Chains A and B, each alone.
Chain A
Amino acid sequence: MSRRIFVGVFEHEADVIEAAGASREHGFEFVDAYTPYAVHGLDRAMGLERSWLPWACLGLGAAGLGFATWLQFWTMTVAWPINVGGRPWNSLPAFVPVMFELTVLCAGVGVVITFVIARRLGPGRTPEIPNIRVTDDRFVLVLDAGASDPRVVRRVFEHCHAVTIEERDVEDRR
Protein backbone atom coordinates (compact mmCIF):
# COMPACT_ATOMS: atom_id res chain seq x y z
CA MET A 1 0.00 0.00 0.00
CA SER A 2 1.21 3.45 -0.69
CA ARG A 3 0.15 6.74 0.72
CA ARG A 4 0.60 10.38 -0.04
CA ILE A 5 2.63 12.60 2.26
CA PHE A 6 3.64 16.23 2.51
CA VAL A 7 7.26 16.94 3.33
CA GLY A 8 7.95 20.43 4.61
CA VAL A 9 11.58 21.44 5.10
CA PHE A 10 12.38 24.30 7.46
CA GLU A 11 15.52 26.20 8.21
CA HIS A 12 14.88 27.26 11.80
CA GLU A 13 13.85 25.52 14.98
CA ALA A 14 11.20 28.13 15.75
CA ASP A 15 9.61 27.73 12.31
CA VAL A 16 9.15 23.98 12.60
CA ILE A 17 7.58 24.41 16.04
CA GLU A 18 5.23 27.06 14.65
CA ALA A 19 4.36 24.88 11.65
CA ALA A 20 3.67 21.91 13.93
CA GLY A 21 1.35 24.03 16.08
CA ALA A 22 -0.46 25.43 13.03
CA SER A 23 -0.82 21.97 11.50
CA ARG A 24 -2.38 20.71 14.68
CA GLU A 25 -4.83 23.63 14.71
CA HIS A 26 -5.82 22.85 11.14
CA GLY A 27 -6.33 19.22 12.05
CA PHE A 28 -3.64 17.79 9.74
CA GLU A 29 -2.40 14.31 10.53
CA PHE A 30 1.27 14.02 11.49
CA VAL A 31 3.43 11.23 10.16
CA ASP A 32 6.59 12.33 11.95
CA ALA A 33 9.03 15.16 12.54
CA TYR A 34 12.74 14.88 11.74
CA THR A 35 15.29 17.16 13.38
CA PRO A 36 19.08 17.09 13.65
CA TYR A 37 18.81 17.24 17.47
CA ALA A 38 16.09 17.07 20.11
CA VAL A 39 13.96 20.20 19.72
CA HIS A 40 12.41 21.12 23.05
CA GLY A 41 8.73 21.94 22.82
CA LEU A 42 8.17 20.24 19.45
CA ASP A 43 6.39 17.31 21.10
CA ARG A 44 4.08 19.75 22.82
CA ALA A 45 3.41 21.68 19.59
CA MET A 46 2.57 18.43 17.81
CA GLY A 47 0.30 17.42 20.67
CA LEU A 48 2.00 14.07 21.07
CA GLU A 49 0.65 11.81 23.75
CA ARG A 50 2.86 10.66 26.57
CA SER A 51 4.94 7.67 25.64
CA TRP A 52 4.16 4.32 27.27
CA LEU A 53 7.91 3.58 27.59
CA PRO A 54 8.15 4.71 31.26
CA TRP A 55 5.64 2.00 32.14
CA ALA A 56 7.73 -0.57 30.27
CA CYS A 57 10.75 0.71 32.21
CA LEU A 58 8.92 0.35 35.52
CA GLY A 59 7.81 -3.17 34.67
CA LEU A 60 11.28 -4.23 33.54
CA GLY A 61 12.81 -2.74 36.68
CA ALA A 62 10.33 -4.60 38.86
CA ALA A 63 11.07 -7.80 36.94
CA GLY A 64 14.82 -7.30 37.48
CA LEU A 65 14.27 -6.68 41.17
CA GLY A 66 12.09 -9.76 41.51
CA PHE A 67 14.52 -11.93 39.58
CA ALA A 68 17.53 -10.80 41.65
CA THR A 69 15.66 -11.37 44.91
CA TRP A 70 14.52 -14.83 43.89
CA LEU A 71 17.87 -15.84 42.39
CA GLN A 72 19.85 -14.95 45.50
CA PHE A 73 17.30 -16.28 47.93
CA TRP A 74 17.08 -19.57 46.08
CA THR A 75 20.82 -20.07 45.50
CA MET A 76 21.90 -18.93 48.96
CA THR A 77 19.29 -20.63 51.10
CA VAL A 78 17.83 -23.54 49.08
CA ALA A 79 20.22 -24.71 46.39
CA TRP A 80 23.64 -24.21 47.93
CA PRO A 81 23.67 -22.69 51.42
CA ILE A 82 27.11 -21.45 52.50
CA ASN A 83 28.01 -20.36 55.98
CA VAL A 84 29.43 -16.84 55.66
CA GLY A 85 30.76 -15.70 59.01
CA GLY A 86 27.87 -17.34 60.85
CA ARG A 87 25.23 -15.16 59.26
CA PRO A 88 21.77 -16.52 58.50
CA TRP A 89 21.39 -18.09 55.05
CA ASN A 90 18.82 -15.53 54.15
CA SER A 91 20.84 -12.33 54.76
CA LEU A 92 19.00 -9.55 53.03
CA PRO A 93 21.66 -6.78 53.37
CA ALA A 94 24.11 -8.90 51.37
CA PHE A 95 21.54 -9.30 48.60
CA VAL A 96 20.72 -5.63 48.22
CA PRO A 97 23.62 -4.62 45.92
CA VAL A 98 22.73 -7.30 43.38
CA MET A 99 19.02 -6.43 43.69
CA PHE A 100 19.83 -2.80 42.98
CA GLU A 101 22.17 -3.52 40.09
CA LEU A 102 19.83 -5.97 38.37
CA THR A 103 16.92 -3.53 38.74
CA VAL A 104 18.95 -0.82 37.04
CA LEU A 105 20.39 -3.15 34.41
CA CYS A 106 17.04 -4.67 33.42
CA ALA A 107 15.25 -1.32 33.42
CA GLY A 108 18.00 0.51 31.53
CA VAL A 109 18.98 -2.03 28.91
CA GLY A 110 15.47 -3.45 28.66
CA VAL A 111 13.84 -0.15 27.87
CA VAL A 112 16.34 0.55 25.09
CA ILE A 113 15.64 -2.86 23.55
CA THR A 114 11.89 -2.26 23.94
CA PHE A 115 12.24 1.07 22.16
CA VAL A 116 14.26 -0.44 19.31
CA ILE A 117 11.69 -3.20 18.83
CA ALA A 118 8.67 -0.94 19.17
CA ARG A 119 10.02 1.50 16.57
CA ARG A 120 11.27 -1.35 14.37
CA LEU A 121 14.80 0.03 14.42
CA GLY A 122 17.94 -2.01 14.61
CA PRO A 123 20.46 -3.59 12.29
CA GLY A 124 19.47 -4.36 8.71
CA ARG A 125 16.81 -1.73 8.54
CA THR A 126 17.20 1.11 6.06
CA PRO A 127 16.18 4.34 7.71
CA GLU A 128 13.50 6.42 6.01
CA ILE A 129 14.91 9.90 5.81
CA PRO A 130 12.63 12.31 3.97
CA ASN A 131 15.41 14.80 3.35
CA ILE A 132 19.08 14.07 3.87
CA ARG A 133 19.71 17.49 5.35
CA VAL A 134 17.89 16.62 8.58
CA THR A 135 21.18 14.98 9.47
CA ASP A 136 22.82 18.37 9.11
CA ASP A 137 20.90 21.58 9.82
CA ARG A 138 17.34 21.31 8.47
CA PHE A 139 14.08 20.49 10.20
CA VAL A 140 11.43 18.42 8.49
CA LEU A 141 7.77 17.95 9.20
CA VAL A 142 5.93 15.13 7.43
CA LEU A 143 2.13 15.17 7.19
CA ASP A 144 -0.33 12.60 5.93
CA ALA A 145 -1.89 14.16 2.85
CA GLY A 146 -4.87 11.83 2.83
CA ALA A 147 -7.28 14.01 4.69
CA SER A 148 -6.03 17.53 4.06
CA ASP A 149 -6.34 20.05 1.26
CA PRO A 150 -2.93 20.48 -0.46
CA ARG A 151 -3.46 24.21 -0.94
CA VAL A 152 -4.12 24.76 2.79
CA VAL A 153 -1.06 22.73 3.74
CA ARG A 154 1.09 24.74 1.33
CA ARG A 155 -0.24 28.00 2.66
CA VAL A 156 0.37 27.01 6.28
CA PHE A 157 3.91 25.77 5.56
CA GLU A 158 4.77 28.83 3.47
CA HIS A 159 3.51 31.07 6.20
CA CYS A 160 6.02 29.38 8.53
CA HIS A 161 8.92 30.03 6.11
CA ALA A 162 9.25 26.52 4.73
CA VAL A 163 12.24 26.18 2.40
CA THR A 164 10.67 23.48 0.24
CA ILE A 165 7.32 21.75 0.27
CA GLU A 166 6.72 18.59 -1.70
CA GLU A 167 4.07 15.95 -2.04
CA ARG A 168 5.30 12.41 -2.30
CA ASP A 169 3.99 8.88 -2.53
CA VAL A 170 5.64 6.45 -0.15
CA GLU A 171 5.22 2.83 0.65
CA ASP A 172 3.22 2.47 3.83
CA ARG A 173 5.15 0.23 6.19
CA ARG A 174 3.07 0.79 9.25
Chain B
Amino acid sequence: MTGALALSVGVVLAPERAWANVLLAGYALTGLGLAGTFFVALTYASDATWATAFRRVPESMTRVLPAAAVVLGLLFVLHPSLYPWTLEDAAEVGGFKHLWLTTPFFLVRALLYFGVWISFAAALVRNSRRQDEDGDAAWTRRNIRLSAIFLVLFALTCFLASVDWVMSLTPHWYSTMFGVYNFAGLFQSGLATMILIVIWLRRAGPLRGVVHDDHLHDLGKLLFAFSTFWMYIWFSQYMLIWYANIPEETVYFIPRMQGAWQPLMIVNLVLNWAVPLLALMARPMKRHAGMLTKVALAVLVGRWLDLYLMILPTVSPAAPPIGPSEIGAALLTAGLFLRVFTGAFQQAAPVPVKDPFLSESLHYHS
Protein backbone atom coordinates (compact mmCIF):
# COMPACT_ATOMS: atom_id res chain seq x y z
CA MET B 1 0.00 0.00 0.00
CA THR B 2 2.71 2.46 1.02
CA GLY B 3 4.55 1.50 -2.10
CA ALA B 4 1.59 2.26 -4.31
CA LEU B 5 1.09 5.56 -2.48
CA ALA B 6 4.74 6.59 -2.87
CA LEU B 7 4.58 5.66 -6.54
CA SER B 8 1.47 7.81 -7.04
CA VAL B 9 3.32 10.74 -5.43
CA GLY B 10 6.13 9.99 -7.85
CA VAL B 11 3.72 10.04 -10.80
CA VAL B 12 2.77 13.59 -9.87
CA LEU B 13 6.34 14.77 -9.18
CA ALA B 14 8.26 13.15 -12.02
CA PRO B 15 5.90 11.17 -14.22
CA GLU B 16 8.44 9.78 -16.69
CA ARG B 17 10.62 8.35 -13.93
CA ALA B 18 7.66 7.01 -11.99
CA TRP B 19 6.38 5.09 -15.01
CA ALA B 20 9.83 3.67 -15.58
CA ASN B 21 9.66 2.43 -12.00
CA VAL B 22 6.23 0.93 -12.65
CA LEU B 23 7.86 -1.02 -15.47
CA LEU B 24 10.66 -2.06 -13.13
CA ALA B 25 8.19 -3.30 -10.49
CA GLY B 26 5.95 -5.08 -12.99
CA TYR B 27 8.86 -6.67 -14.81
CA ALA B 28 10.49 -7.83 -11.56
CA LEU B 29 7.20 -9.40 -10.43
CA THR B 30 6.77 -11.09 -13.81
CA GLY B 31 10.26 -12.48 -13.41
CA LEU B 32 9.49 -13.99 -10.00
CA GLY B 33 6.24 -15.54 -11.24
CA LEU B 34 7.92 -16.94 -14.33
CA ALA B 35 10.86 -18.28 -12.36
CA GLY B 36 8.41 -20.22 -10.18
CA THR B 37 6.61 -21.62 -13.21
CA PHE B 38 9.87 -22.44 -14.96
CA PHE B 39 11.21 -24.25 -11.89
CA VAL B 40 8.05 -26.34 -11.51
CA ALA B 41 8.03 -27.18 -15.22
CA LEU B 42 11.74 -27.98 -15.21
CA THR B 43 11.45 -30.40 -12.29
CA TYR B 44 8.45 -32.13 -13.86
CA ALA B 45 9.98 -32.39 -17.30
CA SER B 46 13.29 -33.73 -15.99
CA ASP B 47 11.69 -36.11 -13.45
CA ALA B 48 13.62 -34.31 -10.70
CA THR B 49 12.19 -35.66 -7.47
CA TRP B 50 14.40 -33.82 -4.98
CA ALA B 51 12.35 -30.64 -5.23
CA THR B 52 8.96 -32.29 -4.65
CA ALA B 53 9.16 -31.63 -0.89
CA PHE B 54 9.06 -27.85 -1.34
CA ARG B 55 7.31 -27.64 -4.72
CA ARG B 56 4.45 -25.68 -3.15
CA VAL B 57 6.85 -22.74 -2.83
CA PRO B 58 7.50 -22.22 -6.57
CA GLU B 59 3.87 -23.17 -7.23
CA SER B 60 2.70 -20.32 -5.02
CA MET B 61 5.21 -17.96 -6.63
CA THR B 62 3.47 -18.45 -9.99
CA ARG B 63 0.42 -16.73 -8.53
CA VAL B 64 2.05 -13.29 -8.81
CA LEU B 65 1.77 -13.43 -12.61
CA PRO B 66 -1.76 -11.93 -12.74
CA ALA B 67 -0.69 -9.15 -10.34
CA ALA B 68 2.34 -8.47 -12.54
CA ALA B 69 0.06 -8.35 -15.59
CA VAL B 70 -2.08 -5.68 -13.89
CA VAL B 71 0.97 -3.54 -13.01
CA LEU B 72 2.41 -3.77 -16.53
CA GLY B 73 -1.05 -3.36 -18.07
CA LEU B 74 -1.47 -0.03 -16.24
CA LEU B 75 1.77 1.17 -17.77
CA PHE B 76 1.03 -0.06 -21.29
CA VAL B 77 -2.46 1.45 -21.35
CA LEU B 78 -2.00 4.67 -19.36
CA HIS B 79 1.50 5.69 -20.37
CA PRO B 80 2.71 3.94 -23.52
CA SER B 81 4.85 6.98 -24.37
CA LEU B 82 7.53 5.62 -22.02
CA TYR B 83 8.51 3.76 -25.19
CA PRO B 84 10.04 6.26 -27.61
CA TRP B 85 8.85 4.31 -30.66
CA THR B 86 5.24 5.21 -29.83
CA LEU B 87 6.11 8.84 -30.52
CA GLU B 88 8.61 8.53 -33.32
CA ASP B 89 7.76 8.58 -36.94
CA ALA B 90 7.33 4.95 -37.88
CA ALA B 91 9.61 5.23 -40.89
CA GLU B 92 12.44 6.49 -38.70
CA VAL B 93 12.68 3.26 -36.73
CA GLY B 94 12.85 1.54 -40.03
CA GLY B 95 12.59 -1.92 -41.49
CA PHE B 96 10.90 -4.76 -39.74
CA LYS B 97 10.89 -2.89 -36.46
CA HIS B 98 8.22 -0.44 -37.57
CA LEU B 99 5.90 -3.36 -38.25
CA TRP B 100 6.76 -5.05 -34.95
CA LEU B 101 6.68 -1.97 -32.71
CA THR B 102 3.14 -0.71 -33.18
CA THR B 103 0.91 -0.10 -30.20
CA PRO B 104 -1.95 -2.52 -31.07
CA PHE B 105 0.41 -5.37 -31.98
CA PHE B 106 2.48 -4.65 -28.84
CA LEU B 107 -0.62 -4.94 -26.62
CA VAL B 108 -1.82 -8.11 -28.35
CA ARG B 109 1.58 -9.69 -27.82
CA ALA B 110 1.61 -8.70 -24.13
CA LEU B 111 -1.82 -10.33 -23.75
CA LEU B 112 -0.57 -13.41 -25.54
CA TYR B 113 2.52 -13.78 -23.34
CA PHE B 114 0.57 -13.40 -20.13
CA GLY B 115 -2.18 -15.62 -21.47
CA VAL B 116 0.29 -18.43 -22.13
CA TRP B 117 2.14 -18.01 -18.83
CA ILE B 118 -0.91 -17.68 -16.60
CA SER B 119 -2.85 -20.54 -18.19
CA PHE B 120 0.08 -22.97 -18.01
CA ALA B 121 1.00 -21.93 -14.47
CA ALA B 122 -2.63 -22.28 -13.37
CA ALA B 123 -2.95 -25.71 -14.99
CA LEU B 124 0.26 -27.02 -13.41
CA VAL B 125 -0.76 -25.79 -9.96
CA ARG B 126 -4.33 -27.06 -10.33
CA ASN B 127 -3.21 -30.57 -11.31
CA SER B 128 -0.72 -30.66 -8.46
CA ARG B 129 -3.38 -29.61 -5.94
CA ARG B 130 -5.91 -32.11 -7.28
CA GLN B 131 -3.37 -34.83 -6.69
CA ASP B 132 -3.54 -33.97 -2.97
CA GLU B 133 -7.07 -35.38 -2.97
CA ASP B 134 -6.80 -38.65 -4.88
CA GLY B 135 -3.05 -39.30 -5.21
CA ASP B 136 -3.54 -40.38 -8.84
CA ALA B 137 -0.25 -40.62 -10.73
CA ALA B 138 -2.08 -39.48 -13.89
CA TRP B 139 -1.84 -35.88 -12.63
CA THR B 140 1.94 -36.17 -12.60
CA ARG B 141 1.97 -37.57 -16.14
CA ARG B 142 -0.32 -34.79 -17.29
CA ASN B 143 1.94 -32.17 -15.71
CA ILE B 144 5.02 -33.66 -17.35
CA ARG B 145 3.38 -33.21 -20.75
CA LEU B 146 2.24 -29.66 -19.93
CA SER B 147 5.72 -28.80 -18.65
CA ALA B 148 7.43 -29.94 -21.82
CA ILE B 149 5.14 -27.76 -23.93
CA PHE B 150 5.51 -24.85 -21.53
CA LEU B 151 9.31 -24.94 -21.59
CA VAL B 152 9.34 -24.48 -25.36
CA LEU B 153 6.77 -21.68 -25.27
CA PHE B 154 8.56 -20.10 -22.31
CA ALA B 155 11.84 -19.90 -24.21
CA LEU B 156 10.15 -17.98 -27.01
CA THR B 157 7.85 -15.74 -24.97
CA CYS B 158 10.43 -14.88 -22.30
CA PHE B 159 12.86 -13.78 -24.99
CA LEU B 160 10.26 -11.77 -26.91
CA ALA B 161 8.84 -10.16 -23.75
CA SER B 162 12.25 -8.86 -22.72
CA VAL B 163 12.73 -7.44 -26.21
CA ASP B 164 9.28 -5.86 -26.22
CA TRP B 165 9.22 -4.43 -22.73
CA VAL B 166 12.82 -3.50 -21.96
CA MET B 167 14.96 -3.53 -25.09
CA SER B 168 12.49 -1.41 -27.05
CA LEU B 169 13.01 1.41 -24.53
CA THR B 170 15.96 2.21 -26.79
CA PRO B 171 14.36 1.22 -30.09
CA HIS B 172 17.41 1.75 -32.27
CA TRP B 173 19.63 -0.45 -30.12
CA TYR B 174 19.56 -4.21 -30.33
CA SER B 175 21.38 -7.13 -28.78
CA THR B 176 20.70 -10.74 -29.60
CA MET B 177 21.96 -11.73 -26.13
CA PHE B 178 19.31 -9.65 -24.42
CA GLY B 179 16.69 -12.38 -24.03
CA VAL B 180 19.14 -14.89 -22.58
CA TYR B 181 20.57 -12.21 -20.32
CA ASN B 182 17.10 -11.49 -18.97
CA PHE B 183 16.36 -15.18 -18.52
CA ALA B 184 19.60 -15.64 -16.55
CA GLY B 185 18.69 -12.83 -14.16
CA LEU B 186 15.10 -14.05 -13.93
CA PHE B 187 16.01 -17.58 -12.89
CA GLN B 188 18.84 -16.49 -10.61
CA SER B 189 16.59 -14.11 -8.68
CA GLY B 190 13.81 -16.71 -8.64
CA LEU B 191 16.19 -19.20 -7.03
CA ALA B 192 17.29 -16.61 -4.48
CA THR B 193 13.64 -15.93 -3.63
CA MET B 194 12.90 -19.64 -3.29
CA ILE B 195 15.90 -20.11 -1.00
CA LEU B 196 14.77 -17.26 1.27
CA ILE B 197 11.20 -18.54 1.44
CA VAL B 198 12.20 -22.17 1.97
CA ILE B 199 14.54 -21.23 4.82
CA TRP B 200 11.91 -18.97 6.33
CA LEU B 201 9.18 -21.64 6.11
CA ARG B 202 11.52 -24.22 7.58
CA ARG B 203 12.16 -21.97 10.53
CA ALA B 204 8.52 -20.88 10.86
CA GLY B 205 7.05 -24.36 10.78
CA PRO B 206 5.29 -25.55 7.62
CA LEU B 207 8.40 -27.09 6.10
CA ARG B 208 10.18 -28.06 9.33
CA GLY B 209 11.36 -31.66 9.09
CA VAL B 210 10.48 -31.66 5.39
CA VAL B 211 13.31 -29.64 3.92
CA HIS B 212 16.78 -30.82 4.95
CA ASP B 213 20.24 -29.41 4.45
CA ASP B 214 20.50 -31.64 1.36
CA HIS B 215 17.69 -29.70 -0.32
CA LEU B 216 19.34 -26.41 0.62
CA HIS B 217 22.61 -27.77 -0.73
CA ASP B 218 21.07 -28.35 -4.15
CA LEU B 219 19.34 -24.98 -4.19
CA GLY B 220 22.67 -23.44 -3.25
CA LYS B 221 24.38 -25.28 -6.10
CA LEU B 222 21.80 -23.97 -8.55
CA LEU B 223 22.16 -20.41 -7.26
CA PHE B 224 25.94 -20.71 -7.53
CA ALA B 225 25.73 -22.09 -11.06
CA PHE B 226 23.22 -19.57 -12.31
CA SER B 227 25.16 -16.66 -10.83
CA THR B 228 28.07 -17.71 -12.98
CA PHE B 229 25.73 -18.26 -15.92
CA TRP B 230 24.40 -14.73 -15.48
CA MET B 231 27.93 -13.33 -15.45
CA TYR B 232 28.83 -15.42 -18.51
CA ILE B 233 25.87 -14.04 -20.44
CA TRP B 234 26.37 -10.50 -19.17
CA PHE B 235 29.94 -10.59 -20.33
CA SER B 236 29.08 -12.22 -23.64
CA GLN B 237 26.80 -9.31 -24.41
CA TYR B 238 29.31 -6.75 -23.20
CA MET B 239 32.31 -8.20 -24.96
CA LEU B 240 30.67 -8.44 -28.39
CA ILE B 241 29.61 -4.81 -28.18
CA TRP B 242 33.01 -3.72 -26.82
CA TYR B 243 34.84 -5.61 -29.55
CA ALA B 244 32.78 -4.44 -32.49
CA ASN B 245 32.67 -0.88 -31.17
CA ILE B 246 29.81 0.15 -33.47
CA PRO B 247 28.06 3.36 -32.33
CA GLU B 248 24.55 1.94 -32.71
CA GLU B 249 25.45 -0.89 -30.32
CA THR B 250 27.65 0.92 -27.81
CA VAL B 251 24.82 3.39 -27.27
CA TYR B 252 23.49 1.01 -24.59
CA PHE B 253 26.64 0.89 -22.49
CA ILE B 254 27.85 4.46 -22.83
CA PRO B 255 25.32 6.14 -20.51
CA ARG B 256 25.56 3.20 -18.10
CA MET B 257 29.32 3.48 -17.78
CA GLN B 258 29.55 7.20 -17.23
CA GLY B 259 29.27 9.36 -14.13
CA ALA B 260 27.50 7.95 -11.12
CA TRP B 261 26.10 5.03 -13.15
CA GLN B 262 29.50 3.42 -13.41
CA PRO B 263 29.95 2.45 -9.74
CA LEU B 264 26.44 0.95 -9.83
CA MET B 265 27.45 -1.13 -12.83
CA ILE B 266 30.37 -2.54 -10.85
CA VAL B 267 28.26 -3.14 -7.73
CA ASN B 268 25.83 -5.03 -9.98
CA LEU B 269 28.57 -7.47 -11.02
CA VAL B 270 29.78 -7.84 -7.45
CA LEU B 271 26.33 -8.60 -6.00
CA ASN B 272 25.16 -10.92 -8.74
CA TRP B 273 28.38 -12.76 -9.38
CA ALA B 274 31.35 -12.15 -7.10
CA VAL B 275 29.39 -12.54 -3.86
CA PRO B 276 27.70 -15.86 -4.76
CA LEU B 277 30.88 -17.18 -6.39
CA LEU B 278 33.12 -16.62 -3.39
CA ALA B 279 30.56 -17.19 -0.64
CA LEU B 280 29.05 -20.39 -2.03
CA MET B 281 32.12 -22.07 -3.50
CA ALA B 282 32.77 -24.25 -0.46
CA ARG B 283 30.35 -27.10 0.19
CA PRO B 284 29.56 -26.29 3.87
CA MET B 285 28.45 -22.79 2.85
CA LYS B 286 25.83 -24.17 0.46
CA ARG B 287 24.32 -26.15 3.33
CA HIS B 288 24.41 -23.30 5.83
CA ALA B 289 21.01 -21.60 6.12
CA GLY B 290 22.48 -18.35 7.48
CA MET B 291 25.03 -17.99 4.71
CA LEU B 292 22.51 -18.91 2.01
CA THR B 293 20.11 -16.28 3.36
CA LYS B 294 22.76 -13.56 3.14
CA VAL B 295 23.83 -14.53 -0.38
CA ALA B 296 20.21 -14.79 -1.57
CA LEU B 297 19.50 -11.32 -0.20
CA ALA B 298 22.58 -9.96 -1.98
CA VAL B 299 21.40 -11.56 -5.23
CA LEU B 300 17.91 -10.08 -4.87
CA VAL B 301 19.33 -6.59 -4.30
CA GLY B 302 21.60 -7.28 -7.27
CA ARG B 303 18.65 -8.31 -9.43
CA TRP B 304 16.83 -5.10 -8.58
CA LEU B 305 19.96 -3.12 -9.42
CA ASP B 306 20.36 -5.06 -12.67
CA LEU B 307 16.83 -4.17 -13.78
CA TYR B 308 17.31 -0.60 -12.54
CA LEU B 309 20.39 -0.37 -14.74
CA MET B 310 18.47 -1.73 -17.71
CA ILE B 311 15.48 0.56 -17.39
CA LEU B 312 16.22 3.81 -15.55
CA PRO B 313 19.10 5.19 -17.67
CA THR B 314 16.62 5.58 -20.54
CA VAL B 315 14.67 8.23 -18.60
CA SER B 316 17.52 9.65 -16.52
CA PRO B 317 20.78 9.29 -18.44
CA ALA B 318 22.64 11.91 -16.42
CA ALA B 319 22.58 10.39 -12.95
CA PRO B 320 20.93 7.48 -11.15
CA PRO B 321 17.71 8.79 -9.61
CA ILE B 322 16.50 7.93 -6.14
CA GLY B 323 13.26 9.26 -4.68
CA PRO B 324 9.71 8.32 -3.77
CA SER B 325 9.23 6.52 -7.11
CA GLU B 326 12.21 4.24 -6.68
CA ILE B 327 11.46 3.41 -3.05
CA GLY B 328 7.77 3.08 -3.85
CA ALA B 329 8.42 0.62 -6.67
CA ALA B 330 10.62 -1.56 -4.45
CA LEU B 331 8.07 -1.53 -1.63
CA LEU B 332 5.22 -2.23 -4.04
CA THR B 333 7.02 -5.22 -5.50
CA ALA B 334 7.99 -6.71 -2.14
CA GLY B 335 4.58 -6.06 -0.58
CA LEU B 336 2.57 -7.35 -3.50
CA PHE B 337 4.75 -10.43 -3.85
CA LEU B 338 4.59 -11.36 -0.18
CA ARG B 339 0.84 -10.78 0.05
CA VAL B 340 0.06 -12.85 -3.05
CA PHE B 341 2.54 -15.54 -2.06
CA THR B 342 1.30 -16.05 1.49
CA GLY B 343 -2.31 -16.08 0.25
CA ALA B 344 -1.52 -18.71 -2.39
CA PHE B 345 0.60 -20.82 -0.05
CA GLN B 346 -2.17 -21.03 2.52
CA GLN B 347 -4.71 -22.24 -0.04
CA ALA B 348 -3.23 -25.72 -0.26
CA ALA B 349 -1.29 -28.18 1.88
CA PRO B 350 2.27 -26.90 2.44
CA VAL B 351 3.62 -30.14 0.97
CA PRO B 352 2.18 -32.06 -2.02
CA VAL B 353 1.03 -34.83 0.34
CA LYS B 354 0.06 -37.44 -2.22
CA ASP B 355 2.68 -36.86 -4.87
CA PRO B 356 4.13 -40.27 -5.82
CA PHE B 357 7.66 -38.86 -5.53
CA LEU B 358 7.25 -37.19 -2.14
CA SER B 359 8.81 -39.97 -0.12
CA GLU B 360 11.80 -40.08 -2.45
CA SER B 361 12.21 -36.35 -2.00
CA LEU B 362 11.97 -36.56 1.79
CA HIS B 363 14.78 -39.11 1.93
CA TYR B 364 16.93 -37.28 -0.53
CA HIS B 365 20.72 -37.24 -0.14
CA SER B 366 22.63 -34.81 -2.26
Q: Which residues of A are at the interface with B, using a C-beta cutoff of 8 A?
A: 40-41, 44, 50, 54, 58, 85, 93-94, 96-97, 100
Contacts and interface: CB of A to CB of B under 8 A. Distances in A.
A163 B243 CA distance: 66
Given A50-B283, A93-B239, A96-B239, A40 B245 contact: no
Contacts of A54: 283
Given A50-B283, A93-B243, 10 more contacts: A40-B364, A40-B366, A41-B365, A44-B365, A54-B283, A85-B245, A93-B242, A94-B239, A94-B243, A96-B239
Nearest to B365: A40
B283 A93 contact: no
Contacts of A100: 232
B47 to A, nearest CB: 16
Contacts of B243: 93-94
B365 A96 contact: no
Listed from nearest, the 3 A-B pairs whose CB atoms lie closest are A40-B365, A41-B365, A93-B242
Contacts, number: 20
A136 B163 CA distance: 52
B238 interface: yes
Given A54-B283, A85-B245, A97 B239 contact: yes
Interface of B: 232, 235, 238-239, 242-243, 245, 281, 283, 364-366
Contacts of A58: 281
Contacts of A93: 235, 238-239, 242-243
Nearest to A86: B245
Q: Main secondary structure on chain B at its contact with chain A?
A: helix
B244 to A, nearest CB: 9
Nearest to A50: B283
Contacts of B238: 93
20 contacts: A40-B364, A40-B365, A40-B366, A41-B365, A44-B365, A50-B283, A54-B283, A58-B281, A85-B245, A93-B235, A93-B238, A93-B239, A93-B242, A93-B243, A94-B239, A94-B243, A96-B235, A96-B239, A97-B239, A100-B232
Contacts of A94: 239, 243
A44 B217 CA distance: 15
A100 B277 CA distance: 14
A126 to B, nearest CB: 32
A139 B155 CA distance: 43
Contacts of B232: 100
A112 B238 CA distance: 33
Nearest to A41: B365
A96 B242 CA distance: 12
Nearest to B363: A41
A54 B243 CA distance: 35
A93 B283 CA distance: 30
Nearest to B232: A100
Contacts of B242: 93
A34 to B, nearest CB: 19
B156 to A, nearest CB: 28
A74 B21 CA distance: 47
A100 B229 CA distance: 12
Contacts of A96: 235, 239
A41 to B, nearest CB: 4
Nearest to A40: B365
Contacts of B366: 40
Contacts of A40: 364-366
A65 B239 CA distance: 18
Contacts of A50: 283
Contacts of B235: 93, 96
A54 B232 CA distance: 22
A50 B283 CA distance: 10
A85 B242 CA distance: 11
B294 to A, nearest CB: 22
